[in-house]
Chain A
Amino acid sequence: MARAVTTRHKTIATAAAWIVALLIFFPILYTIITSFKSEQEAIQGFSLFPSGTLESYAEVQSQYNYFRPFLNSVILSVGSTVLALVVAIPAAWAMAFSPTRRTKDILMWMLSTKMMPAVAVLFPIYLIFRDFGLLDSRIGMTIMLMLINLPIVVWMLYTYFREIPGEILEAARMDGASLWNEIVYVLTPMAIPGIASTLLLNIILAWNEAFWTIRLTTTNAAPLTAFISSFSSPQGLFWAKLSAASTLAIAPILIMGWFSQKQLVRGLTFGAVK
């Protein structure tokens, strides 16, 4: 772009963008600020300057045993995503490298399963979970989250794999590479970035899933989504504690998200927008 940019134009754009961005970010910022206030401070009207106390964090841990839901969130989101990758990689691979006439239909059908309202199958799933002893179990929730995100995982991997040129395989084969060598030295290095992006994005999605995790867990397997929801009926002063718990719940995924924003667009639009 050769268009000359005046400093004035740039200054105005910068100011406007920063103001809008700070407004959008404000609820998160204010939560982080409030988490460093005491309960008394938190309700004393608007203030951006906390006293810096850590008592809310200490209390969230001691009063609610914060570490357990945190650990559950990690186990469920990572476990379900890895499991989904194991199932989805061969499928996406096959669709990308030996597509048939029906490949597109299968992909569309997979996406359409995401359209099914979860609530429609709430009770049957509840019964199945109960009868198999999976209610409030980490194994049950891992399987559940795996199934929920499987269509997206297949789709994302498919769009990445599709971009690996098929000719490169033929070239390797001509050079006498065995199937094993082909997989280890040619395909894996080219597939890893796509798999990594898929992993990252689906951990985020699984971490934030807030229907099944709330309905099918109580304490044992309850991740942060369920834990935070228990704050919906407050007892006494809880603004600072809510803020501390919220900050802890979103911080890891927020940081992961910042690193994955480029892949996010590609991944969630199934390669349609790059």
Chain B
Amino acid sequence: MATKQTGTLARFMMAPSVILLFVWMIVPLAFTLWFSFLQYNPLNPVRDGFVGFSNYALFFKNPAFLAAILHTLVIVLAVLAITIVGGILLALLLDQPMWGQGFVRILVISPFFVMPPVAALVWKNMLMHPGYGVFADIARFFGLQPIDWFAQYPLFSVILIVAWQWLPFATLILLTSLQSLDGEQMEAAEMDGAGFLSRFWYLTLPHLSRAMTVVVLIQTIFLLSVYAEILVTTNGGPGYASTNLPFLVYQKALLEYKIGQASAGGIIAVILANIVAFFVMRAVGKNLDK
């Protein structure tokens, strides 16, 4: 189909997007890589200069770094687990015949449209606040001591908020996929005496695999860089208890002005994202080719 002329035209039409994205990706990244080998402090430039890999060494030696890597992975994995399992259960429920299905769908999808700082502040103050939150009201109703969620379980609290934001997305996609499941096949299996669990395991779950892959891909992209939710709730604390890698890099760069170390952390974040991306993209590529 593509003659030489249309091929040239096509390249011309693609050029702006490709060039913009290339520049946007390469130029800042090159700066970061360069900065990661420098001692660079805008407030105290006396000792600035080339320091080789010592920023990386400093970053690795920092106990906050290992914690941040761990927290990053915990957030991604925990939220993925909650949203996929919860999403499948919810999708199965919403797929049942019921009254007011359209309205139920609207209620369930809503949290996805709530901007991260609002979601986090609403949970922090309206629900999880140890004095005035709804959870505290419930605890007092049962005669229990209200829990100070963000002080006692900071990482869990962040995970809870992020999972609330992403559960609707997973549910909606899994539900859409579920609705394209072949009803006749299901019925045939049912007539052959296959119980609910075996129908779920051998028919529904394989059918959902493609949708699940997509959910994992999209959510991983966003979950690796959870930021606003931490900023407005725990601010990374107490200590480093809820600091993930993006948050640690932000602290180093814009609060401590240790640009060299922050850049090293940024490069490590890129490498981490690439490792995760490699596996995810491979899985997605395989699944999407089908």
B123 pairs with A13, CB closer than 8 A:
no
A133 to B252, CA, bound (A): 24
A254 pairs with B114, CB closer than 8 A:
yes
A18 to B99, CA, bound (A): 9
Tell me if A229 counts as interface (CB < 8 A to partner B). Answer: yes
Please judge, given known A-B contacts A17-B93, A116-B270, whether A204 and B113 are in contact too, CB under 8 Å.
Answer: yes
Tell me if B78 counts as interface (CB < 8 A to partner A). Answer: no
A98 pairs with B114, CB closer than 8 A:
no
Q: How many of chain B's residues have a CB under 8 angstroms from any CB in A? A: 104
Tell me if A186 counts as interface (CB < 8 A to partner B). Answer: no
B177 pairs with A273, CB closer than 8 A:
yes
Query: How many whole Å from A211's CB to the nearest CB in chain B?
Result: 5
Which of the candidate stretches B46-54, B56-64, B166-174, B198-206 sits at the interface with the other chain? B166-174
Q: Mark B225-258, 1 if CB is under 8 A from A, else 0.
A: 1011001110100000000011001100110000
Tell me if A174 counts as interface (CB < 8 A to partner B). Answer: no
Instruction: Give the residues from 81 to 103 in chain A that come closer than 8 angstroms, CB to CB, to chain B.
Output: 87-88, 90-91, 93-95, 97-100
A144 to B143, CA, bound (A): 51
B14 pairs with A118, CB closer than 8 A:
no
A250 pairs with B20, CB closer than 8 A:
no
Please judge, given known A-B contacts A98-B7, A261-B106, A273-B214, whether A13 and B98 are in contact too, CB under 8 Å.
Answer: yes
A9, A90, A204, A273: the one contacting B16 at CB < 8 Å is A90
Tell me if A178 counts as interface (CB < 8 A to partner B). Answer: no
B126 pairs with A117, CB closer than 8 A:
no
A117 to B274, CA, bound (A): 10
Tell me if B100 counts as interface (CB < 8 A to partner A). Answer: yes
Tell me if A184 counts as interface (CB < 8 A to partner B). Answer: no
A257 to B109, CA, bound (A): 9
A232 to B99, CA, bound (A): 40
Chain B residues whose C-beta falls within 8 Å of the C-beta of A97 in the assembled complex: 10
Instruction: Give the residues from 10 to 51 in chain B that come closer than 8 angstroms, CB to CB, to chain A.
Output: 10-11, 13-14, 16-18, 20-21, 24-25, 27-29, 31-32, 35
Tell me if A272 counts as interface (CB < 8 A to partner B). Answer: yes
A210 pairs with B218, CB closer than 8 A:
no
A113 to B121, CA, bound (A): 30
Tell me if A52 counts as interface (CB < 8 A to partner B). Answer: no
A residues neighboring B (CB under 8 Å): 1-3, 5, 9-10, 13-14, 16-18, 20-22, 24-25, 27-28, 30-31, 34, 42-43, 45-46, 87-88, 90-91, 93-95, 97-100, 106, 108, 110-128, 147, 150-151, 154, 166, 204, 207-208, 210-211, 214-215, 224-225, 228-229, 231-232, 234, 239, 242-243, 246, 249-250, 253-254, 256-258, 261, 264-265, 268-270, 272-274
Other A-B pairs, 20, CB within 8 Å; known A124-B28, A208-B114:
A17-B96, A27-B123, A46-B134, A98-B1, A100-B7, A115-B274, A116-B25, A116-B273, A119-B245, A119-B246, A120-B29, A150-B17, A214-B228, A225-B116, A225-B117, A228-B117, A229-B231, A253-B113, A257-B110, A273-B210
B residues neighboring A (CB under 8 Å): 1-2, 6-7, 9-11, 13-14, 16-18, 20-21, 24-25, 27-29, 31-32, 35, 90, 93-94, 96-101, 104-119, 121-123, 125-127, 131-132, 134, 137-138, 164, 167-169, 172-173, 176-177, 180, 183, 187, 210-211, 214, 218, 221, 224-225, 227-228, 231-233, 235, 245-246, 249-250, 253-254, 259, 262-263, 266-267, 269-270, 272-274, 276-277, 281, 285, 287-288
The 10 A-B pairs with the shortest beta carbon distances in the complex, nearest first, are: A120-B266, A124-B31, A121-B28, A90-B13, A257-B113, A13-B96, A94-B10, A210-B228, A232-B232, A91-B17
